[in-house]
Structure 1
Amino acid sequence: MENNGSTDRRYSITAALAGGWVADAASLGVHWLYDSGRILEVGGDAPEFLPPKAEYYSRGFGYFAHEGKQPGDISHYGAATGVLADSLLASEGRLDIRDYQRRFRACFGPGGNWCGFLDNPTRITLENLTAIEHRAIDHALSTVTAELTERQQKVLIQKVMPYTRRLTGDQLTEPVKAAISLTYQEPEIQDAGLHLARTIDEQLVPESGADDLQLPAVSKLSPLVACYCGSERLLDMAEAAVRVTNHSDEAVAWARCATQLLDHLFQGGSISEALDLAAPLAPDTDRLSQARSGSRLDARSAGDTFGRTCYLHEAMPVIFHILSHAGSYTEAIRANIHCGGDSCGRAWIIGPAMAAIHGVGSEKGIPLSWLTRLTNGSDILGKLESLVNGNWPEKGPQKEAPTCPMQ
């Protein structure tokens, strides 16, 4: 982890990360209800932590995606952010794309623990990860010089794949040899298996994401910013992480904007300075300037002007408007919910930004009562503290990753 800030700064960053999880959970009840008037009807002035109910969507345009979820639960955005946070924690604060991809598939793919909505970039990323592996396997088999039976080929692939999903380069040699030797003692078959592992490893590409311009590109960034806060490598690391799920130049540009925003706030800068520094990195600076104009917070009007859907060119101006005008964490999160649409997606920038400024428990910070409403809050917050403070888990024998994080 490259962040070596003071104790106070680490406290602020931990609060910022918590701000994302709390904001997401607070917004879930009326997520993707696009009618601001209807949200006011069902939630009043305090629409946070409403139980997700289909009846809310009986009037006004919306999409009810969270059947079975309870107040305090996180959305699919939270689960995806947790995948990256868990990978960073396991990798001692470093971005390990291979580990991140494996954990992403383990969480959201068949047999994973995530039960809930899957967005378009997640579905396509899972398909792409499988296709990338199949192409790598086909290429590896086509370059084997040893004469292998079809059965031997299948067995060798089954033996090497668990290792190529989590190891790379010279890390593969010993465990792959050991696995193959359990079935085949012949040197030529062992060498063929090692060749397969190395060739597959070389063919697995880090850019596994969908060509998609929606909020999953930026919603997961806060743990990565915490780990690389102030580093000259941060923007490159953000691009690498984004392309795992959103392989799009425009999505990367918006992500660089969001990353710069959070990084400045995590280092203790002001919101106006952070917005000034972030805006030039965006694909559409005019919309961001327009969003910052005016003298008062009016998130409903911002939604009318810029849009409420998941697309980044709609969401980021709304985010900039709320951050420019909200005076507290609570005001910002309620304004985001009242705006409607993809409130959970926007929460992952608004929540960390406002919590980085105002902290926890103060008049303007995250209300302590909101922290207590977060499902599995103790486990989530404990992991966030470990990530920021560099309390890495002990290294044990290599084994498959947990199927889903921070829920």
Structure 2
Amino acid sequence: MTEKLPGDRRTQVISAIAGGWVADAASLGLHWLYNSDRIAEVGGRYPEFLPPRADYFEGVFGYFAHEGKIPGDISHYGAATKVLTDSLLANKGELNIRDYQRRFVNHFGPGGGWQGFIDNPTRGTLNNLVATEQKAIELAFSSIETDLSEKQKRILVQKVLPYTRRLSGDQLAAPVREAINLTYQESRIQEAGVLLAETIDGHLQPDSGADDMQLPAVSKLPPLVACYLGQRDLMDCVEAAVRVTNNNDEAVAWARCTARLLEELFLGTPPSEAIEAASELAPDPKNLAAAISDTALNPVKAGDTFGRTCYLHEAMPVCFHIISQAQSFTEAVRANIHCGGDSCGRAWIIGPAMAAIHGVGHEKGVPLSWLARVTDGADLFADLEALV
């Protein structure tokens, strides 16, 4: 759909998703600090891009999760968004669940590129995918007629798994045979290995996610929404993507609400109308209505009223309050940080929404200086340009 958009809207969509990276990185230093007074004490009027430090959390409630990170780094939310972005890029803007799952495991699993906090849905998803894989292995060996020793079975699993975790379908047979041939030249053992690979490949479940209704369900939606703008299957793709990591009906409902908000804003719908359209899909429209009914921005009060944790029924009203009341991207990001709690998770809704409204480089838009502070920002933003 994005190739059909006018040039200015395409630029706005790119700016919007970039706003997610910026808001995430800006929030990292005080992420999961729940005490608003301490946040004000440490961050003052400019709490963005602070270095993550354990001493911020001493004597107050919070969880210091980002040891070793530096200002400009993204959180695990941003890392998961990049996994989905990479999958969309590799598949020409289309959601490919198996490719997405494999990239997710390869990035967050053992030996992957991610170094940092692993949240509950990520851990649960990895566990579920491994469990499904193990069941498929057992099923394959129960159906293989070739007589194999336990040693041969172990070696076949070791030979096959590197390929089933990266390849699928017709791509599997040739490299699997070649790998097995290094140890076993018998065709019967090679055929058993191919059957093992095909069985694992055929039993990968699309709804691999944890039973979890926290912010990771919606935080990685911006690039997906950008790829399916205005398409009738947007919501089906949203549900499919969410269930990869969060196999929970309430999480899917909030994801639909989030996707509608972002879609409308990406297409240029006025903020008040976009919020109204999204609210119609919310599983808790009453709290959203209360959140946007205030006449002034008060993130601390919003946190006190609705909650500051990662759960969607707490986070979404806070997001809607800030988006409806903040007058600029900078004000919204700072308000989100001052609210406290899961600021990085909320940043992936607030940042893209406010950047879609105000753009980049304008007085109310994403500051260029903030764009320049995001670690590996040039590569991240180049991916967005290629995707959109």
Alpha-carbon separation, structure 1, partners of 2:89 and 2:8: 21
Cα deviations by residue, 1:223-277 (Å, 9 ceiling, x for unpaired): 1111112211111111111111111111111111111111111112121121111
Q: Distance in 1 between matches of 2:212 and 2:3?
A: 30
Question: Partner residue of 1:398?
Answer: none
Instruction: Give the drift of 1:182.
Output: 4.5
Shift in Å, 1:184: 4.2
Name the aligned partner's letter for residue 240 of structure 2: A
1:381-392 residue pairs with structure 2 within 5 A?
Answer: 381-388=381-388
Kept in 2, the 8 Å contact 1:16–1:266? The answer is: yes
In the other structure, the counterpart of 1:397 is none
Alignment-derived partner of residue 146 in structure 2: 146
**Equivalent residue for 1:268?**
268
Distance 1:63 1:362 in 2: 35
- Contact persistence 1:98–1:165 (CA under 8 A): no
In the alignment, the residues of structure 1 paired with residue 192 and residue 47 of structure 2 have an alpha-carbon distance, to the nearest angstrom, of 61
Partner of 2:222: 222
Which range is displaced more, 360-369 or 79-88? 79-88
Structure 1: which 5+ runs fail to align?
389-407
Aligned position for 1:340: 340
The equivalences for 1:367-386 within 5 A come to: 367-386=367-386
Deviation of 1:195 (Å): 2.0
- Which residue does the alignment assign to 1:117? 117
Instruction: Answer yes or no: is the 8 Å Cα contact 1:3–1:227 preserved in 2.
Output: no
The unaligned stretches of length 5 or more in structure 2 are none
Contact 2:19 2:354 in 1 (8 A): yes
- Matches of 2:354 and 2:139 in 1, distance apart? 49
Q: Distance in 1 between matches of 2:106 and 2:173?
A: 24
Please report how far the alpha carbon of residue 185 of structure 1 lies from its aligned counterpart in structure 2 after TM superposition.
Answer: 4.4
Deviates more, 1:114-123 or 1:169-178: 169-178
Correspondence 1:46 to 2:56: no
Equivalent residue number for residue 236 of structure 2: 236
Task: Look up the match of 2:29.
Answer: 29
Shift in Å at residue 3 of structure 1? Answer: 5.1
* 1:98–1:166 CA contact under 8 A, matched in 2: no
- The residue correspondences of 1:7-406 to structure 2 (distance < 5 A) are 7-388=7-388
List per-residue Cα deviations over 1:313-372 (Å, max 9, x = no partner).
000000011111111111111111111111110000000011011110001100111111
What one-letter code is carried by the residue in structure 1 that aligns with 2:47? P
The DSSP-based 3-state class of the residue aligned with 1:346 is helix
Alpha-carbon offset, residue 151 of structure 1: 3.1
Mean alpha-carbon deviation: is it higher for 379-388 or for 160-169? 160-169
CA contact (8 A) 1:99 1:165 kept: no
Amino acid at match of 1:368: L
- 8 Å contact kept, 1:140–1:199: yes
Contact 1:98 1:167 in 2 (8 A): no
Residue identity over aligned pairs, in percent, reads 67
CA distance in 2 between partners of 1:358 and 1:36 (Å): 27
Q: After superposition, give the CA deviation of every residue in 1:32-57 in whole Å (9 maximum; x if it has no partner).
A: 11111221111111111111122222
Measure the CA separation in 1 of the matches of 2:118 and 2:189. 41
CA distance in 2, matches of 1:168, 1:44: 52
Q: For 2:386 and 2:226, how far apart are their aligned partners in 1? A: 12
C-alpha deviation, 1:144, in angstroms: 0.9
Is the 2:54–2:64 contact (alpha carbons within 8 Å) kept by the matching residues of 1? yes
Task: Give the stretch that moved more between structures: 37-46 or 301-310.
Answer: 37-46
- Whether the 8 Å CA contact 2:219–2:349 is kept in 1: the answer is yes
Q: CA RMSD in A?
A: 1.7
Contact 1:218 1:254 in 2 (8 A): yes
1:133 corresponds to which letter in structure 2?
A: E
Contact 2:2–2:10 (Cα < 8 Å) also in 1: no
SS in 1 for 2:172: helix
Question: Contact 1:121–1:209 at 8 Å: present in 2 too?
Answer: yes
1:395 aligned residue: none
Give the whole-Å Cα distance in 1 for the aligned partners of 2:209 and 2:109.
Answer: 14
Rounded to whole Å, the distance in 1 between the matches of 2:179 and 2:112 is: 25
Contact conserved, 2:220 with 2:348, CA < 8 A, in 1? yes
C-alpha spacing 1:190/1:110, structure 2 compared with 1 (3 Å): closer
- The DSSP-based 3-state class of the residue aligned with 2:345 is helix
SS of equivalent to 2:4 = coil
Q: Against the structure 1 CA distance between its residues 299 and 104, is the aligned structure 2 distance closer, same or farther, given a 3 Å change threshold?
A: same
Give the partner amino acid of 1:248.
Answer: N
- Is the Cα–Cα contact under 8 Å of residues 2 and 227 in structure 2 kept in the other structure? yes
Structure 1 residue 5: Cα displacement? 1.9
Aligned residue type for 2:6: S
Question: In structure 2, what is the Cα distance between the partners aligned to 1:86 and 1:171?
Answer: 20
CA distance in 1 between partners of 2:171 and 2:11 (Å): 36
Q: d(CA) in 2 for partners of 1:165 and 1:58?
A: 42
Q: TM-score, normalised by structure 1?
A: 0.91
Q: Secondary structure at the match of 2:49?
A: coil
Superposition deviation, residue 181 in structure 1: 4.3
For 1:44 and 1:209, locate their aligned partners in 2 and report how far apart those are by CA, in whole Å. 38
